[in-house]
Structure 1
């Protein structure tokens, strides 16, 4: 059994949604219903691999311990080195998981369970916002609910704990819940169409373009990019829609990325929850720290280096394969060049609002994006 796949999943899924609908109509709180049903799904999905289930249980226990311990320590004051230690400790299981992707370390198999990357980001966000003083404390039940919420468990979108807690503890009026349920059902149906119809068509077209000629390589890049969008956007829509039906307004993850006019616009539309997480917790913090320490002569240099670091880390987050690292570095360089061009080019400033320039900028952006997908696919390595 896997999330949003297979007859067994959808039988249990339908029963769970019917239960949520009844509780919503009766204006009952859904917090504990979500915790119990999410725990059920996680066990059903992971039980096929007992070691994965054990590692997930260990991960949840360890991360809860770190969060509650840091919560107690943070009340004694805002100490930078302690904060850094706890950020590292929360990321350590993910580091061990990624290291086990290396051939010589594969047999160790530490923390190999689906969703660990997304779950780690959620925990790190809590630690960072505790350090900032935005979060003073978090309840054990809310923390567990945040991590195991089954629609977003394996592939996101990456929600924020404060936003999630607000929805989790809210008791909806009947009309408001029915409105959310209707929105969620619509999103879910579109997600099904994206993932199981359009993504499948794109995948079949992609398989026809595997031969190594230049034109077929270009065709492969485009069909792979289209497949990636419909597959992942479809999954995200199903997760978001399910969240709405369970009373949690999970943030959308895609916003028409293939109409993007430049690379910054693309990353504001593609995998939004991930790009916003990196923007808020890596890029912005690097910029602020660099300006305070005067690491670079100009703001443009600071931003350019920030983009490269930010996106390279994002590439490594996907995996330690050369294709992922190069993919991240590629997009970092593109974002840096976009920033320099838009800040320095008189040609850009003169023509950026003209229609012909918008069309040209879109065409260039799409070709750069599709080449990036070709790198990501590993087809070049």
Structure 2
């Protein structure tokens, strides 16, 4: 069963989370019960795919051993080589999952959520390296963080220290009542986005482009805009479901979208679109790369260093989506946009060519919107297909 894909799934959650709501409104702790709910829901999700369930179990054991092992090692030493080996080992299952389809008929590493779970495991190793995590993590809390079912398939990507703070928080009945209200609100937004707006765009517009468009170029153009809005409402709907269920379970999972289509520039866009992913890549790829290059003094020009960081970041992000040509082109496209905008921004600081006022803000939003939509057109791979 795929999370949030049917009303049956929501019906099951209503039954399973009823005790959580009752305990929460009474101001009693419910996280232990929620851990059991997570195990039950995961069993339901993977019931029809025992091979995927086994892959998930083996993956989780691998990550836990790596994390706890590296935390124990970090107390005694801080070798860069050991850190690199730990990170590579953490992303190894995801790498196998991405490459295996090109060498075998069966992808034995395939299971729902492998990408998001990998981000969590790798993040913990990096934060241990940085000294943010110093003590062995309680096994129950670590497993709960990695396997937290609301965000397993679509994110958002949480941070362990923030997540752990929510687990330990003592909520009064009134505080939980507000969380419950916000969670239900987000669920209704998810239904509106995914099952009404997103479905309508896909079913009534995109599926009928042959009858709406009068020529091939117009058809491609309509598809570009239609797919961009569909992608947003479908993905934002999934995220709203995940965040809403998280709130009901007492976990304030971070927001994933913030009106991305009114972004003023491409940097602003990545601060609004799939925020937990872009912030993850920013913190654990871009910032670490810039710090490393600066520390080694290999490149003295900050702009060049920054641009190389953007290229690395978006190439990795493209490959993370998949090794198909559309994803690689999508990564290259956004890397070029970021480098281009970064160059323009530095130029404008000196020459004040583009003033800041209401008119230029509107123009910037319109221009950015079209660049974004073309990027989603590349991402869709529609240009590879023949016709619409």
- Does the alignment reach a TM-score above 0.5? yes
Structure 2-normalised TM-score? Answer: 0.95
Structure 1-normalised TM-score? Answer: 0.96
Instruction: Please state whether the residue corresponding to 1:320 is helix, strand or coil.
Output: coil
Structure 2 vs 1, CA of residues 157 and 270 (structure 1 numbering), >3 Å: closer, same or farther?
same
Q: How far apart are residue 346 of structure 1 and its match?
A: 6.2
Q: How does 1:21-32 map to 2 (within 5 A)?
A: 21-32=21-32
Quote the residue 1:135 is aligned against.
133
Q: How far apart are residue 295 of structure 1 and its match?
A: 2.8
Q: How far apart are residue 143 of structure 1 and its match?
A: 0.8
Quote the residue 2:147 is aligned against.
148
The 2-side partners of 1:45 and 1:348 are apart by 57
Q: How far apart are residue 348 of structure 1 and its match?
A: 7.3
Instruction: Please state whether the residue corresponding to 1:277 is helix, strand or coil.
Output: helix
Q: How does 1:148-297 map to 2 (within 5 A)?
A: 148-204=147-203, 205-209=205-209, 213-297=216-300
Give runs of ≥4 in structure 1 deviating > 6 Å: none
The 2-side partners of 1:140 and 1:27 are apart by 25
The 2-side partners of 1:8 and 1:259 are apart by 35
The 2-side partners of 1:44 and 1:254 are apart by 28
The 1-side partners of 2:350 and 2:295 are apart by 33
Measured against aligned partners, the alpha-carbon deviations of 1:58-91 in whole angstroms (never above 9, x if no partner) come to: 1111111111111111111211111110111111
Quote the residue 2:86 is aligned against.
86
- Determine if contact 2:194/2:238 at 8 Å carries over to the other structure: yes
Quote the residue 1:319 is aligned against.
322
The 2-side partners of 1:35 and 1:248 are apart by 12
Q: How far apart are residue 350 of structure 1 and its match?
A: 4.1
- Determine if contact 1:351/1:357 at 8 Å carries over to the other structure: yes
Unaligned runs of at least 5 residues, structure 1: none
- Determine if contact 2:294/2:300 at 8 Å carries over to the other structure: no
Instruction: Please state whether the residue corresponding to 2:48 is helix, strand or coil.
Output: coil
The total of aligned residue pairs comes to 379
The 2-side partners of 1:354 and 1:217 are apart by 34
Quote the residue 1:68 is aligned against.
68
The 1-side partners of 2:86 and 2:173 are apart by 42
Measured against aligned partners, the alpha-carbon deviations of 1:140-166 in whole angstroms (never above 9, x if no partner) come to: 111110011111011100000000001
The correspondence for 1:377, drawn from 346, 355, 380, is 380
Instruction: Please state whether the residue corresponding to 2:308 is helix, strand or coil.
Output: helix
The 2-side partners of 1:297 and 1:342 are apart by 19
Q: How does 1:313-352 map to 2 (within 5 A)?
A: 313-345=316-348, 349-352=352-355
- Determine if contact 2:31/2:249 at 8 Å carries over to the other structure: no
Structure 2 vs 1, CA of residues 12 and 331 (structure 1 numbering), >3 Å: closer, same or farther?
same
Q: Does 1:359 align with 2:357?
A: no
Q: How far apart are residue 16 of structure 1 and its match?
A: 2.1
The 2-side partners of 1:296 and 1:251 are apart by 35
Q: How far apart are residue 209 of structure 1 and its match?
A: 2.5
The 1-side partners of 2:349 and 2:67 are apart by 50
Q: How far apart are residue 108 of structure 1 and its match?
A: 3.7
